[in-house]
Amino acid sequence: MPEQSPIKATITLSNPELDDQALDDETRKLLRNLSRLDEVKDVSLIQDSNAPDGTKSIGGALLGALELVTDSVPGLRSLIELLRNWGQSKSLEITLVLRCEDGNKELFLNVTRADIQEPLSDFLKKLMDCK
């Protein structure tokens, strides 16, 4: 069985009721929690140099945004469940963009919505073809 290519993800948190500092605090808390997971090979704040025009940043990092790498397709479901629970408990909307390392397969998910299982399952099937 061929080795699975890493899966890269961009995670964005948002809540219009939070000020920038509170959103940054929540992002950094989530970063600490994600860094403890076995499924997560790397997680970091997205630096402002990678930020699209018109976005906000605090301390050189893009506000409310993380980059993550995992090589575990089965662990991806538990990761998404953690993000969903985190978002619901903190009243945050969390968007996850998953990309296969080859860049040919990408999926945008709002993990706080209920109807993500079908698009996620389709994406995971396509991941098996990533090299």
Determine the pLDDT at residue 1: 43
Mind listing the pLDDT tens digit for each residue in 39-83?
A: 899 999 998 765 555 555 566 678 899 999 987 777 787 788 888
Determine the pLDDT at residue 6: 79
Helix (H) or strand (E) holding 21: helix 20-35
Residue that wins the pLDDT comparison between 10 and 115: 10
The three-point CA angle 17-22-28 to 5° equals 130
- CA torsion 23-107-36-83 (nearest 10°) is 50
Mind listing the pLDDT tens digit for each residue in 3-47?
A: 667 788 899 999 999 999 999 999 999 999 999 988 899 999 998
Residues β-bridged to residue 24: none
Instruction: Give the tokens for residue 25.
Output: 């605090």
Residues β-bridged to residue 12: 65, 95
Question: How far from the centroid of its chain's Cα atoms is residue 2's Cα?
Answer: 25
In this structure, of 53-57, 84-88, 115-119, the range with the lowest mean pLDDT score is 53-57
Determine the pLDDT at residue 77: 77
Calculate mean pLDDT across residues 111-121: 72
